[in-house]
Amino acid sequence: MTGPAMVGDSFRLGYRFQRHWDVSMASAFFFGELGAGLFVVAMLYPSWPALVLGLLITGIGKPWFHLTHMGVPKKSWRAILRPDRSWTSRGLIGIVVFSGAGVLYAGALATDGFVPLGDAWRVVAFLAALLVMTYQGFAMSHSTAIAIWSTALMPIASLLYALAGGAALMLVLEGLGAALVPAPLSVLPAATLGLSGALLVVQVSLLHAAHNGTPGAKLSARLLLRGRYAPAYLGLVLGVGIALPLVALGLDGDDLVTRIVAAVGLLGGFFAFRVLIFKVGVFEPVMRFGGIRTPR
Q: Is the pLDDT of residue 8 over 60?
A: no
Distances 108 to 99, 112, 170, 229, 256 between C-alpha atoms, Å: 14, 6, 20, 46, 30
Of the pLDDT bands very low, low, confident and very high (cuts 50, 70, 90), residue 11 is very low
pLDDT at 15: 78
Angle between helices 48-56 and 153-176 (to 10 degrees): 130
Please choose, from the candidates 129, 187, 148, 124, the residue with its C-alpha nearest in 3D space to the C-alpha of residue 21: 148
Q: Which residue type occupies 73?
A: P
Residue 102 phi, psi dihedral angles, 5° rounding? -65, -40
**Which of 164-178, 190-204, 282-296 bottoms out in mean pLDDT, i.e. has the lowest?**
282-296
pLDDT at 2: 42
**Residues in contact with 122: Cβ distance below 8 Å, sequence separation at least 6, in sequence order:** 43, 105
pLDDT at 178: 62
Fold assignment, 16-283: Formate dehydrogenase/DMSO reductase fold (1.20.1630)
pLDDT at 144: 82
* Chain segment 246-285, per-residue pLDDT in tens: 999 999 888 999 999 999 999 999 999 999 999 999 988 7
> pTM of the entire structure?
0.88
Region 186-207 average pLDDT: 95
* Chain segment 215-240, per-residue pLDDT in tens: 889 999 999 999 899 999 999 999 99
Peptide bond into 189 cis (omega under 30): no
Q: Is the pLDDT of residue 159 over 50?
A: yes
Distances 26 to 147, 224, 283 between C-alpha atoms, Å: 18, 17, 18
Considering the chain, what percentage of its residues have pLDDT values greater than 70?
A: 83
Query: Could you give the CA distance from residue 86 to residue 73 in angstroms, rounded to a whole number?
Result: 19
Domain boundaries along the sequence of the chain: 16-283
pLDDT at 89: 75
Q: Is the pLDDT of residue 155 over 50?
A: yes
